[in-house]
Amino acid sequence: MARLNVNPTRMELRRLKNRLKTAVRGHKLLKDKSDETIRQFMLYIKENKRLREEVENEISLSLRCFLLASAVTSSQVIEEAVAMPGYKVELETDVKNVMSVSVPVLSIKESARKELYPYSFASVTSELDSSISGLSVLLVKMLKLAEVEKTCNMLADEIEKNRRRVNALEYVMIPQLQETIKYITMKLDENERANTIRLMKVKSMIEARG
């Protein structure tokens, strides 16, 4: 591992030791954060799988009911029945913090006047009612599914970023600092021994003259 290009002085050694201590502490914090982010990610993945299965099953059921209604009612009558919405909804957005990641929170605000079936029951079959009812419930679940899927994507990106940071500290910065500290320590020890030998020679010369 290549060491850092620094002057082998005691001041530099002290500075590098402080940097190493900070890097080791940062590595541990990032590793702990990465582990917890992965745990949260797995919980969201399970929730995403459950919601997706529910949504797909309920969509299939609603479409089946709609096809049955289409089989016994003309397309013109069905188009007229569903042409005007029974009520309006508004999408409200917010964010929440999950492991330092700002993930979306989506919710629906419904109008005060809610009329689920904006048509005459005499003109259509009960299958259309079932289809409309199922799809209105699905709206909330699909919104929740979109929220959870986006959260999964954002947490996956954060996990990858943390992995790169942890690897950079573990395999590059910390080994470089350790190698440089070892090099400076050896150089200082060599200088110390050289100074000791020099002083001993000077002492011997003084004693020989005396």
**Which helix H or strand E contains 105, and what residues bound it?**
strand 101-110
Residues 85, 33: Cα–Cα separation, whole Å? 47
Largest CA distance in the chain: 130
Domain segments of the chain: what residues? 10-205
Could you tell me how far CA 67 lies from the centroid of its own chain? 41
pLDDT, position 21: 96
Collapsed DSSP state (helix, strand, coil) of residue 93: strand
**Which helix H or strand E contains 106, and what residues bound it?**
strand 101-110
pLDDT, position 42: 96
pLDDT, position 26: 95
Identify the DSSP state of 87.
S
pLDDT, position 25: 96
- The string of DSSP codes covering 108-157 is EEE-SS--S--S-TTTS-HHHHHHHHHHHHHHHHHHHHHHHHHHHHHHHH
Residues in the chain predicted with pLDDT less than 70, given as ranges, are 1, 80-87, 111-125, 210
Could you tell me how far CA 196 lies from the centroid of its own chain? 57
pLDDT, position 173: 94
CATH class of 10-205: mainly alpha
Return the residue matching tokens 């259309």: 128
Q: How many CB atoms neighbour CB 196 within 10 A?
A: 10
pLDDT, position 133: 76
pLDDT, position 180: 94
Beta-bridge partners for 110:
89
Residue 196: both structure tokens together = 């000791």
